[in-house]
Amino acid sequence: MNVFMIRKNLFLLAVFLFTADLLFLMTGCLSTKKTASPYRLTFDSSPISAQDCSLEFDFTNLSEKEIKSFSLVLNVFDGDGCPVFATSQVSFPFEKSVLPGEEVSGMLEFKEDVVMEENDFLMADYLYAERIEYFDGSVWEDPLGRFSR
Protein backbone atom coordinates (compact mmCIF):
# COMPACT_ATOMS: atom_id res chain seq x y z
CA MET A 1 0.00 0.00 0.00
CA ASN A 2 1.19 3.43 -0.74
CA VAL A 3 1.06 6.42 1.60
CA PHE A 4 -2.01 7.86 -0.15
CA MET A 5 -4.06 4.69 0.47
CA ILE A 6 -3.02 4.58 4.14
CA ARG A 7 -4.04 8.22 4.66
CA LYS A 8 -7.35 7.63 2.88
CA ASN A 9 -8.09 4.57 5.05
CA LEU A 10 -7.17 6.47 8.23
CA PHE A 11 -9.43 9.35 7.18
CA LEU A 12 -12.34 7.00 6.50
CA LEU A 13 -11.77 5.26 9.84
CA ALA A 14 -11.76 8.64 11.63
CA VAL A 15 -15.00 9.68 9.89
CA PHE A 16 -16.60 6.35 10.82
CA LEU A 17 -15.56 6.64 14.49
CA PHE A 18 -16.74 10.26 14.70
CA THR A 19 -20.11 9.34 13.17
CA ALA A 20 -20.48 6.36 15.51
CA ASP A 21 -19.66 8.50 18.57
CA LEU A 22 -22.10 11.16 17.44
CA LEU A 23 -24.82 8.56 16.93
CA PHE A 24 -24.26 7.07 20.39
CA LEU A 25 -24.31 10.53 21.99
CA MET A 26 -27.50 11.56 20.23
CA THR A 27 -29.38 8.35 20.98
CA GLY A 28 -28.21 8.55 24.59
CA CYS A 29 -29.57 12.09 24.90
CA LEU A 30 -32.83 11.15 23.24
CA SER A 31 -33.32 8.14 25.46
CA THR A 32 -33.25 10.27 28.64
CA LYS A 33 -36.66 11.56 27.58
CA LYS A 34 -37.99 8.06 28.20
CA THR A 35 -37.04 8.26 31.86
CA ALA A 36 -40.20 8.34 33.91
CA SER A 37 -41.20 11.60 35.50
CA PRO A 38 -41.96 11.34 39.25
CA TYR A 39 -45.02 13.56 38.91
CA ARG A 40 -47.98 14.48 36.71
CA LEU A 41 -49.11 18.07 36.52
CA THR A 42 -52.30 19.23 34.84
CA PHE A 43 -53.82 22.68 34.43
CA ASP A 44 -56.45 24.40 32.34
CA SER A 45 -54.76 25.95 29.32
CA SER A 46 -57.66 28.26 28.49
CA PRO A 47 -57.05 32.04 28.65
CA ILE A 48 -56.58 33.59 32.08
CA SER A 49 -58.23 36.87 33.02
CA ALA A 50 -55.61 39.61 33.42
CA GLN A 51 -57.49 40.83 36.50
CA ASP A 52 -57.48 37.36 38.09
CA CYS A 53 -53.82 36.35 37.47
CA SER A 54 -54.18 32.88 38.97
CA LEU A 55 -53.99 29.33 37.71
CA GLU A 56 -55.42 26.17 39.27
CA PHE A 57 -53.41 22.95 38.95
CA ASP A 58 -53.48 19.29 39.95
CA PHE A 59 -50.20 17.67 41.02
CA THR A 60 -49.91 13.87 41.29
CA ASN A 61 -47.00 12.11 43.00
CA LEU A 62 -46.05 9.22 40.67
CA SER A 63 -43.05 8.14 42.75
CA GLU A 64 -43.00 5.55 45.52
CA LYS A 65 -41.75 8.10 48.08
CA GLU A 66 -43.60 10.71 50.12
CA ILE A 67 -42.98 14.27 48.96
CA LYS A 68 -42.05 16.86 51.57
CA SER A 69 -42.10 19.91 49.27
CA PHE A 70 -42.06 20.82 45.60
CA SER A 71 -41.47 23.88 43.48
CA LEU A 72 -43.35 24.70 40.27
CA VAL A 73 -42.26 26.98 37.44
CA LEU A 74 -44.73 28.91 35.31
CA ASN A 75 -44.35 30.81 32.04
CA VAL A 76 -47.18 33.21 31.12
CA PHE A 77 -47.66 35.35 28.01
CA ASP A 78 -50.08 38.07 27.02
CA GLY A 79 -52.37 37.94 23.98
CA ASP A 80 -49.54 39.16 21.73
CA GLY A 81 -47.20 36.38 22.88
CA CYS A 82 -45.01 38.65 25.01
CA PRO A 83 -43.84 37.45 28.45
CA VAL A 84 -45.63 39.12 31.36
CA PHE A 85 -43.03 38.39 34.06
CA ALA A 86 -39.94 40.53 34.66
CA THR A 87 -37.95 37.29 34.43
CA SER A 88 -38.64 34.59 31.87
CA GLN A 89 -40.42 32.46 34.46
CA VAL A 90 -41.58 32.52 38.07
CA SER A 91 -41.04 29.76 40.63
CA PHE A 92 -43.69 28.84 43.22
CA PRO A 93 -42.55 26.77 46.24
CA PHE A 94 -45.04 24.52 48.05
CA GLU A 95 -44.37 23.03 51.50
CA LYS A 96 -46.90 20.27 51.15
CA SER A 97 -46.77 16.57 51.97
CA VAL A 98 -47.91 14.38 49.06
CA LEU A 99 -48.18 10.63 49.55
CA PRO A 100 -47.25 8.22 46.74
CA GLY A 101 -50.06 8.14 44.18
CA GLU A 102 -51.86 11.08 45.82
CA GLU A 103 -53.17 14.01 43.80
CA VAL A 104 -53.28 17.48 45.31
CA SER A 105 -54.85 20.62 43.90
CA GLY A 106 -53.53 24.11 44.28
CA MET A 107 -53.59 27.64 42.98
CA LEU A 108 -50.75 29.75 41.59
CA GLU A 109 -51.37 33.45 42.17
CA PHE A 110 -49.04 35.71 40.23
CA LYS A 111 -50.63 39.17 40.08
CA GLU A 112 -47.65 40.77 41.87
CA ASP A 113 -45.21 39.16 39.41
CA VAL A 114 -46.92 40.51 36.28
CA VAL A 115 -45.24 43.53 34.71
CA MET A 116 -47.45 44.71 31.87
CA GLU A 117 -50.24 47.06 31.06
CA GLU A 118 -53.77 45.78 31.55
CA ASN A 119 -54.63 43.25 28.89
CA ASP A 120 -57.72 41.24 28.08
CA PHE A 121 -56.24 37.83 28.78
CA LEU A 122 -53.07 35.87 29.54
CA MET A 123 -51.95 32.41 28.45
CA ALA A 124 -50.10 29.90 30.65
CA ASP A 125 -47.64 28.33 28.28
CA TYR A 126 -45.53 26.04 30.41
CA LEU A 127 -45.91 24.67 33.92
CA TYR A 128 -43.53 22.10 35.39
CA ALA A 129 -41.97 20.92 38.65
CA GLU A 130 -38.37 22.11 38.90
CA ARG A 131 -37.63 20.56 42.29
CA ILE A 132 -39.15 17.85 44.47
CA GLU A 133 -37.83 17.12 47.95
CA TYR A 134 -38.74 13.83 49.62
CA PHE A 135 -39.02 13.02 53.33
CA ASP A 136 -36.08 10.61 53.02
CA GLY A 137 -33.86 13.62 52.17
CA SER A 138 -33.46 12.87 48.47
CA VAL A 139 -34.12 15.56 45.87
CA TRP A 140 -35.27 15.33 42.25
CA GLU A 141 -34.53 18.36 40.06
CA ASP A 142 -35.46 19.36 36.54
CA PRO A 143 -34.49 23.04 36.15
CA LEU A 144 -35.33 23.14 32.43
CA GLY A 145 -38.64 21.27 32.48
CA ARG A 146 -37.45 18.38 30.30
CA PHE A 147 -39.69 15.87 32.08
CA SER A 148 -42.91 17.85 32.11
CA ARG A 149 -46.00 16.10 30.76
The pLDDT of 57-77, averaged and rounded, is: 94
pLDDT of 80 higher than 60: yes
pLDDT of 96 higher than 60: yes
Whether this model's pTM surpasses 0.75? no
Please give the pLDDT value at position 31.
Answer: 46
| Distance, CA of 103 to CA of 62 (rounded, Å) | 9
Which residues, 6 or more positions from 131, have their beta carbon under 8 angstroms from its beta carbon?
Answer: 70, 71, 139, 140, 141, 142, 143
Residue type, 21: D
The pLDDT of 72-91, averaged and rounded, is: 80
